[in-house]
Each structure stands twice: as C-alpha cells, then as structure tokens.
C-alpha cells in the first residue's frame, strides 16, 4: 500500500473487532434478500482462535448455491504491529466509518487510518 501513496498520503481500512462473539451472531443466521426471492443462510463450520470458517448458502426457487469462506479476526495490537512493520504509523483507530471512538469491548469494527513513515519510491509505482 505504501508504494501507491503520494507523499503525506494515508490509507484507511477496516477489520472486525475480534472481541465481539461473531460465532454466536452468525451461526444459523438466515435472512431474505430481494423481496424474499433469495434466502441466505450462514452456518459456522469451524472457529479457531483468530479464524472463523463458515458456509453461506443462497436458496433461490430452483436451486441452492453454497460457498465456503474463512475470515481472520486479528487483534488491534496485531494489526498495529503489522502496519508498523510495513512502514506505517497508525494515526487513528475508529469504531465505525462515522469516526466514532473505538471501544475495545463493544465496537463492531476497527477502522485503521495510517500514514507512511517512509517516502514512497516513485520508480516502483
């Protein structure tokens, strides 16, 4: 990311807060989409420390499509460490995209805003 930033540029991205119990929230979740034409169901298949694996099924009138995914839920400290190691300085961490304060036990998201601590190399752009 750093190579693509202009001098003084910043990057912003989100990660889910691992302190939220995503397994309980997601397991067996079902919702209807497109006015009831599609039924989406999510089923947890594995949970191991930072990783949650799940299947999402989409049922339409004639068929059911299933996809499998695994997401990683790193801690704030781990993300900040990776950013620092990659030449970034964390400028802010918000709890949502409306710039609300991050609360470690209740914010659902971690929005990181970071700037480069090293100048980009224009020859590698």
Residue that is written with structure tokens 């601590």 in the block? 117
Among the residues of 1-125, which ranges form H helices? 22-26, 76-85
Exposed / middle / buried, residue 114 (Cβ in 10 Å: 0-12, 13-18, 19+):
buried
The domain segmentation of the chain, as residue ranges, is: 1-18+74-125, 21-73
Residue-level pLDDT, tens digit, the chain, 125 residues: 888 888 888 999 999 999 999 999 898 889 998 888 999 999 999 999 999 999 999 999 899 999 999 999 999 999 999 999 999 999 999 999 999 999 999 999 999 999 988 765 555 44
pTM for the full model? Answer: 0.81
Q: What is the sign, positive or negative, of the torsion defined by CA atoms of 94, 100, 101, 107?
A: negative
């Amino acid at each position: 990311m750093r190579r693509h930033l202009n001098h003084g540029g910043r990057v912003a991205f989100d990660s889910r807060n691992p302190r939220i119990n995503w397994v309980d929230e997601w397991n067996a979740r079902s919702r209807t989409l497109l006015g009831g034409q599609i039924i989406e169901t999510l089923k947890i298949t594995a949970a191991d420390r930072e990783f949650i694996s799940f299947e999402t099924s989409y049922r339409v009138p004639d068929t059911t499509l299933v996809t499998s995914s695994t997401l990683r839920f790193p801690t704030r400290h781990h993300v900040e460490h990776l950013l620092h190691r990659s030449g970034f300085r964390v400028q802010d961490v918000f709890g949502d995209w409306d710039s609300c304060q991050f609360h470690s036990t209740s914010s659902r998201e971690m929005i990181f805003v970071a700037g480069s601590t090293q100048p980009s190399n224009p020859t590698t752009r």
